Structure 1
Amino acid sequence: MSGAARLAGKAAVITGGAAGIGAAIARRFVEEGAQVLIADIDDANGETLARGLGANACYRHCDVSQVGQLNSAFAECESRFGRLNVLINNAAMQSTHDFEQTTELEWERIVAINLKAVFFGTREAIAFMRRAGGGAIVNTSSTFALVGSPGYAAYHATKGGVDSVTRAAAVALIKDRIRVNSVCPGTTMTPGLVSSVRATAADYDAAMASYAALQPMRRFAEPAEIANAYVYLASDEASFVTGERLVVDGGYTVV
């Protein structure tokens, strides 16, 4: 734990917390003094991560497309840790399909996980955060909320929606002392990125090199670099910050 624990006394639920950026957020939160419930459908990685983080972390299986499971995760956090102060709406799925290739079923699944879960996760957290005297919600958006690309049509749509829901919720929940912000990560070296490139590229190394060459810093972000943004927005250091999106992309969207 750091010398001045920035999240001491806070209890958080992190959806999609078993791997990648979500796991990095969980680690950083525990380092900064928070108690964390990791909510995911990846039971093996989630349980292993929670055990490794010690008494201040636990894991719960949670399909974020099911509103009742989100509510149950929040209730467990409150029961186990005494409160729910922070919600990280991080769970998401990608699709590399363009408009013509995207099926109705695929669209509905991506919307359910990437956007519906953010809206209803926020809605269900309100009562818990009121009992805690307020809180902070941080939604995972994407640079794809800001720029276009030939593929990822449904993913683009949902991440634009996440940013819009973030702004709406921020204004609506000021009265409840609940701040709502989003983080737009750039390309990050996660297991999801690796598996996606391996599945779609004929030459993995060449593809990764070409993607890195598109980055102004000529590299991808490390998950911990993205997680630091969530620490700030969840902490009292961001007490006057709401309705904002924090872009952490190594300059990708400004060149």
Structure 2
Amino acid sequence: MSLLADRTVVVTGAGAGIGRAIAQLFAQEGANIVCADLRREWAEGASAAIEAAGGTAIPAACDVADPDQVAAVVATAVATYGRLDVMVNNAGIASPRSGMTIEDHTVKDFDHLVAVNGRGVFNGCKEAVRQFKQQGGGGVIVNTGSIAGMISWGGVVYGATKGLVNQLTRALAAEVASDKIRVNAICPGGIWTNLAFAKGEEFRPPDEAEAKVLRSLHPIGEIITPEDCARAALYLACDLSTNVTGILLPVDGGYLTK
């Protein structure tokens, strides 16, 4: 069974990490994917990998903090595939350095985090809702929040931006429910992606010491992977969750139970 057969999906931040895993899994389930990423070459790489595996995808360069670029990506999806069915607002950034306190953040750091993590999701939701209402028949939005937006965990400023995402998700779900538009978010726990690295540093798997720390964060004792997050997003995007809206779905190995 293909859970997303012939549906058109835009995935932001699709070039790496959680976004790439979502794009690949959704393509395997029959979706037509627009792989959007700030780095054009990353978007092209994700799209090419999907095509090589027999899926359907096109790349698009997109700075999610720019509303015109987000609108252009949605327009590209509609022009290419005829409609938009699912919007995955996944693109996000971390604080410039791990372990930064609020005093360490400059106003520029704060503005950049809010622009990408907060305004980026706002832009994606706004354009998706516009398109869903225009074409009729409802639609689905899946945002990438974080447990850092649910509890005091991780950096203060990063967590605040994810709190914005989480609350935007819940409030928007109520606002557009009568239009048959569902809005939910996945909320990862401690996960190893390229967000952990300095700008320009190549992605690498965690070494044994880093892996041990990651496992210790979660009661289940396993590392959370992008693929774990992609499977949660798939549930929220497909018809298995037809009556699910406004939820923040933790993918945290039981962290919130502590």
Query: How high is the TM-score relative to the length of structure 2?
Result: 0.90
| Aligned equivalent of 2:84 | 84
Cα distance in 1 for partners of 2:209, 2:239 equals 43
| Aligned equivalent of 1:244 | 247
- The equivalent position to 2:49 in structure 1, one of 27, 52, 55, is 52
| Aligned equivalent of 2:140 | 136
Amino acid at match of 1:5: S
Residues 218 and 194 (structure 1), Cα distance of their counterparts in 2 relative to 1, 3 Å cut: farther
Residues 237 and 211 (structure 1), Cα distance of their counterparts in 2 relative to 1, 3 Å cut: closer
- Is residue 62 of structure 1 aligned with residue 47 of structure 2? no
- The equivalent position to 2:6 in structure 1, one of 3, 6, 9, is 9
Cα distance in 2 for partners of 1:212, 1:121 equals 33
- Post-superposition Cα deviations, 1:183-240, rounded to whole Å, max 9, x if no partner, equal 10122232334669x99xxx96434423322221222112111100111111011111
For structure 1, which runs of at least 5 residues remain unmatched after alignment? none
- Is residue 38 of structure 1 aligned with residue 35 of structure 2? yes
| Aligned equivalent of 1:225 | 228
The alpha-carbon deviation at position 176 of structure 1 amounts to 1.7
Taking every aligned residue pair, what percent have the same amino acid on both sides? 36
- What's the C-alpha RMSD, in Å, of the aligned pairs? 2.0
- Is residue 21 of structure 1 aligned with residue 18 of structure 2? yes
Between Structure 1 and Structure 2, how many residues are aligned?
247
The alpha-carbon deviation at position 132 of structure 1 amounts to 4.7
Instruction: Answer whether contact 1:84 1:132 (CA < 8 A) is retained.
Output: no
| Aligned equivalent of 1:214 | 217
| Aligned equivalent of 1:145 | 149
Cα distance in 1 for partners of 2:225, 2:216 equals 16
Cα distance in 1 for partners of 2:3, 2:46 equals 21
Greater alpha carbon shift after TM alignment, 62-71 vs 139-148? 139-148
Cα distance in 2 for partners of 1:217, 1:192 equals 23
| Aligned equivalent of 1:155 | 158
Amino acid at match of 2:37: D
Instruction: Answer whether contact 1:142 1:183 (CA < 8 A) is retained.
Output: yes
Greater alpha carbon shift after TM alignment, 69-78 vs 128-137? 128-137
Cα distance in 2 for partners of 1:159, 1:249 equals 15
Cα distance in 1 for partners of 2:207, 2:105 equals 24
For structure 2, which runs of at least 5 residues remain unmatched after alignment? none
Cα distance in 1 for partners of 2:57, 2:28 equals 11
- Is residue 100 of structure 1 aligned with residue 103 of structure 2? yes
Cα distance in 2 for partners of 1:108, 1:191 equals 21
Aligned pairs for 1:114-129 within 5 A:
114-129=117-132
